[in-house]
Structure 1
C-alpha cells in the first residue's frame, strides 16, 4: 500500500543517480515536459532542466540534417568529469622551494616541522600559496612524499598524561624551597631566573655537563665540569660573576636546582654573590620543566652512555648554538638568542655581553 501523505522528507541536495538519468531519457522520449518529469522523480524542475541541458548532444540524421537529444550516458559522463574536478587540489607541485628548505632543516639542522613552517612564515615571508601548514607537512611526511621519514623526526609520539606521585622526601632541602620563589619568576615575567641540572655520560666518566636555562627567554648554556662535586659548581658561578661583575645579580637573580649533592652549596654560593638559590621538591623534575626540555634536546646529540670527555669544546659550543637559534612557536618563531640579547642589552654594555657569550 502506498502512502501519499507520509511525513518522511526526501534528502535534500542529493545528486541525480544513473537510474534517474535513464528515467529522464525515457520520459523525454515519451513527450513528458520538464515539470512533469520533476514531479515524477520528486525533484526540482530546475534540477531536471540543468540535467537535460548537461546531457543533450547534437545528432545527425541520414539526410545530414541535425537534431538535439538527451542521452543518460552523456549526462552521467559529464557529471563524473565535473566531480573529478571538485575538491581541494594538492599544493605539492607548487611549494617545491618550501619542501627543499624543510627537508634541509629537518634532516641536517634537526628542526621540527612546526619550526620550519613558523620560520618560513615569519622570517622568510613565504605566502600561503608557497607553503603548507604544520599539519599538512606532517601528513606529507607520513605519506612518504618527502625525503624526511618519521624516524628522522626527533619526537613523534603522543605523550601520556603525567601522573604526579607524591613521595616522602629522603633528602632534606639545602636552602629555600621553590615554594618561596617569587611569582615574577614562576610566571616568567622577569628576566634573570634560571634552572640548572647536570647530565652524565658514562657512569664511570669523571666529566659532567652542567646545563643552565633562563626561564623567560629559554636561553641555555652548557658547561663541562670535572665531576659532580659541589665545589665545581661553586667555581662555575664564581667564574660567571667575574665576567659579569656587578651585573651578575641582575643577570642571575635566582637559580633553581634539584636536591642533588652537586648543588648542596648552591644556595650558599648564590647568596654570597647577591642572588638566590631555590630547590625543587624531591622527585619533581617537572618543577624545572624548562631545563628538562633543554636536556631532552641535548640528548639528541649526546645520548646516555656517550663519553663526555671525548666530546670537544667546539662540539659542545655547536650544540649550544643550535639550541639557542632554534625557532620557537612561543616566541612567534623567534629564537632564544634573539630574546636573550634584547634583555641583556638593557642590563650590560655590549663589551660585557660579547665577553659573556664568548666565555660561555
Structure 2
C-alpha cells in the first residue's frame, strides 16, 4: 500500500477515530467523563455528546444526533460505506492521504472514496468533509420510497392522465413523451414505470380509477397465462389458410383482412370486427338482433363494398358458423374468404389482439346490441387515430388514407 510521504499526525492533533476509540476505552476502564476527556485531549462537552448524543434547535427546526457508536438508522448492506469508514476517510484525508491510498486502507474501490468526497463535502469555503454529517446525508438519500417523477411534475402528470383518458396504452404514452419533450429526458418514462404509476396511483398522483383506462381494466396486476381454448365451430370451409396467397404472410401488400366476432352476454349479441393486416386499420360491423350467417352476410357486404377494390383482396376468418355464407360474400364483393385451422387463433393474430383492445369499450358479459352503428364508428375512429409502434408510430387512419388515394 502506498501512503503519502508525510502521513504522521500533526503536533497537537490526533485522528478523530483514534480519539473516540481511546475515550470509550478509558470510560470502560472506570474513568469518569472529566478524566477521560482530559486524557484524550477533548472538552467535557465533546465527550458528553459522544456518549449521549445531542439535540440542536436552529431556525425553528429541531435536529437530534445519535450517540457515537450507536445509530438511529437501521443496519444497511456492507456494500454501503459505514459511519466508522466515513470517519476514517475524514481522518486520512486530513493527513493528506491520496484517494487511492485511502481506498486501499478501507478495502474499497477508489471510485467509491472519490464519489463519497464529491457528494458529501461542503463547498470550498465551508468546513470540508464532515463524516457524521455525510453519513446522515447519505442515509437520507437512500430512504425509500422516493417521490416519483409523476408526483413531482404536474405538467408531466397531466400529459399522462390525458392520454390515459383516451385509453392510450403505457407503451404509446412512453413514445409520445419522447416526441413531446425531446430535449427533456428527465420527463421520459419507461413503460414499466407507467404501469406502476397506474397501479399505484397514491405514489404517482394519478387518479385512483386509472386502471380502468387499461385494456384489461383489472384493479391489480396478475401474471400472464394462456387463455382457454375455445371449442371448434366448423362451418365446412372450402378455402383453408394454407391456400392463401403467399403475399399475405409478409404484410407487404395491403388489402388482406382478418375477421371475427366479439360476443356479448350469454351469446345473445355480437359485433363483427375486421382488421387490415398491413395498416392495422379497424372496421366494426353492427349486427342487429342476431349473429346468424344471414345477418353477417347482410351487414358485412356493404362494409366491404365501401372499401376500394384494391384494398379488399382477402379475408381470413375462424371456422365459425356465422361465416357459412362466405361463398355469397365472395360472389358479391370479389373478396375470397380463407379459414384458420381449429384452435389456432394465432393465425389471425392482428384480429385477436384488436379484439382484446375492443374489450375496453365493449366489456365481456355485457349486451352488445345496445351499441349503435354510430357508436361503433366512433370507437373505430378513436382506435384508428392512435399511433402504433408497429407502424413506426404512424396511425392506421393516416396510412389507409394514403393507400386509398392510390390504385394498384
3-state secondary structure, aligned to 2:274: strand
Does the 8 Å contact 2:177/2:189 carry over to 1? Answer: no
Q: TM-score, normalised by structure 1?
A: 0.68
Q: 2:265 is paired with a residue of what secondary structure?
A: coil
Offset at 1:34? Answer: 5.2
Matched, 1:212 2:271: no
Structure 1 residues 104 and 301 mapped into 2: Cα distance closer, same or farther (>3 Å)?
same
Name the residue aligned to 1:225: 287
- Alpha carbons 1:256, 1:288 under 8 Å: kept: yes
Matched, 1:99 2:161: no
Q: Does 1:147 align with 2:147?
A: no
Report what 1:81 is aligned to: 137
Contact 1:271/1:277 (8 A) holds in 2: no
Deviations 1:205-256 (A, max 9, x none): 4x53111111111111111123323233333344246545xx42x1110001
Local SS of the residue matching 2:156: helix
Give the CA deviation at 1:138.
2.7
Q: What is the aligned partner in structure 2 of residue 289 from structure 1?
A: 349
Corresponding position of 2:329: 269
Partner Cα separation in structure 1 for residue 136 and residue 383 of structure 2: 53
**Larger RCO (CA under 8 A, 6+ residues apart):** 1
C-alpha separation in 2, matches of 1:15 and 1:200? 61
Question: Is 1:309 aligned with 2:369?
Answer: yes
Match of 1:300 among 360, 366, 371: 360
1:122, 1:333 within 8 Å by CA — same for their partners in 2? no
Aligned residues: 306
How far 1:178 moved relative to its partner? 0.6
Q: Distance in 2 between matches of 1:199 and 1:184?
A: 27
1:251 matched to 2:317: no
Contact 2:233 2:320 in 1 (8 A): no
Cα deviation, residue 132, structure 1: 2.4
Q: What is the distance in 2 between the residues matched to 1:33 and 1:324?
A: 68
Residue in structure 2 matched with residue 118 of structure 1 by the alignment: 175
Whether 2:340 is the aligned partner of 1:280: answer: yes
Q: Secondary structure of 1:42's match?
A: helix
Q: For 1:316 and 1:170, how far apart are their aligned partners in 2?
A: 26
The Cα of 1:126 is off from its aligned counterpart by 6.8
